Amino acid sequence: MKEEVTAMLPLSPAALHILLALAGEDRHGYGIIKEVARQSEGHYKLGSGTLYDNLEKLMDRGLVKEATARSGKGEPARRHYRLTDFGRRVLEADLVRLKRVLRESRLHLRAAESGKVS
């Protein structure tokens, strides 16, 4: 089981943002794009081509699945996407990996600033 999670890492930036956007709730495609823009404060802009390319892969690998279509007030039913348990584990594992990268980079940057290059 752990090997399957590890085999999915590292996630591409687009895949990471998509899984993060779905971590809180099910969303449709446009909802994912808006949530990614919000979470990244506009720094990461996801186009629909990139979104669905990645969604196709994520669904084929079992990280995301379709949820029951829901409709807003007066709107037609839109297909929503949901993070699977397996997808959640992969996302958590990638976040652990990113935390390590962040920690290492802070250590090295701090050392460089103080002149103590190892």
Partner 1 sequence: MKRSFYKCLLWLHPAGFRDRFADEMLWIFDETGGQGPRPFTDVLISLLRQWTFHSGVWRIAFGALASCLLLAGWWHFQEAALASALRRGNPGALKEIKHRHASGMPCVGASGDVIRAAETESGRAGSQVDTGGCDVADGVQGIVAAFQHHRVVMIGEVHGLEPTGEFYRRLIRDRKFQETVQDIVVEFASRNNQALLDRYIAGRDLPIGEVRHIWRDTTKVASWESPIYPQWLAAIRDVNKGLPPSRRLRVLAGDTAVDWRKIYTHADWEALGDNNVSFADVIVNEVLRRGHRALVVLGTNHVTKSGDRNGDEDTTTRVESRYPGSTYVVLLDNRGLLGPPAQELVRLHRVSQNEPILCELAGTPLGDFPVNHGTPLSNKADALLYLGPPETLTRAFPPAGSLEPTYMKEVDRRSMIEWGELRDRKLLGAAAE
Residues forming the site for partner 1 (CB under 8 A): 1, 4, 28-30, 33, 45-50, 52-53, 55-56, 60-63, 78-79, 84, 86
Give the residue with the Cβ less far from partner 1, 62 or 93.
62
Residue type for position 2: K
- 61 and 8 in contact (C-beta within 8 Å)? yes
Q: Report in angstroms how near the CB of residue 24 gets to partner 1 at its nearest.
A: 20
Q: Report in angstroms how near the CB of residue 77 gets to partner 1 at its nearest.
A: 12
Place of tokens 């495609």: 29
- Residue 110, classed as helix, strand or coil, is helix
Q: Report in angstroms how near the CB of residue 49 gets to partner 1 at its nearest.
A: 3
Give the residue with the Cβ less far from partner 1, 74 or 115.
74
